[in-house]
Amino acid sequence: MESIAFVILSALTLACALGVVLGKNAVNGAMCMLLCLAGIAGLFVQLRAFLLAFVLILVYGGAVVMLFLFIVMLLDMQGGQPWRFRRAQVVGTLVSAALLICGLNLLTVRGRLPSPVPPAAGVGSSLSYYAYQLFTTYMLPTQVIGFLLLIAMLGVIVLSRRHRDPADS
């Protein structure tokens, strides 16, 4: 039963990710991104990582995707022209894919990653431990990300303002 759920969630996630990348409409892309995040959260639930699944849905699904939709609707973006692939883009894509495959091959063959040390029983399973880590060790990265999101939101508001002609005043 778990393997069937894994295949279904993986197919949903992959299809929605392709919908985000290949879609022409930005609103449809945002909705596909929301469904993709829901599929990833389902995969986290299968791994028994309930907190990560909840945070993924709450933060990314609830906040980031909705902010993206707000920005898209605020800017009134329309679908653009279909892409035309040039020879340089195709060659660059093929070279990048070859380098990625070679790197993954080298990592799996030669560069075995050491297995992590298992935590003591119950250390990572309590929310108080996560909260302690968030407000001590990871406080600066959390604040930096929040500040960057604030700057991005202000930048979008400034860019979306309609510039009035001084003669109209």
pLDDT in tens, 13-36: 999 999 888 887 878 888 888 899
Confidence check: pLDDT of 141 > 60 = yes
- The string of pLDDT tens digits covering residues 30-48 is 888 889 999 999 998 888 8
Which position has the higher pLDDT, 141 or 122? 141
The secondary structure element, H or E, covering residue 76 is none
Between 21-25, 114-118, 149-153, the lowest mean confidence (pLDDT) is in 114-118
Q: Residue 100: which pLDDT band, with cuts at 50, 70 and 90?
A: confident
CA 82 to chain centre: 24
Average of pLDDT values for 123-151? 73
Q: Which of 45, 34, 46 is nearest to 3 (CA)?
A: 46
Query: What distances in angstroms separate CA 145 from CA 31, 52, 61, 141, 159, one per listed residue?
Result: 23, 18, 17, 6, 21
Tokens of 150: 């604030």
Looking at the chain, how many residues does it have?
169
Amino acid 157: pLDDT:
75
Amino acid 15: pLDDT:
93
Q: What is the pTM of this model?
A: 0.53
Tokens of 56: 């993924």
Amino acid 9: pLDDT:
92
Q: What own/partner pairs with CB < 8 Å and gap ≥ 24 does 159-168 have?
A: 159/75, 160/71, 160/74, 160/75
CA distance 97 to 103: 10
Contact criterion met (CB below 8 Å) for 21 and 36 = no
User: Cβ atoms within 10 A of the Cβ of 68, count?
Assistant: 17
Average of pLDDT values for 72-100? 75
Average of pLDDT values for 85-99? 84
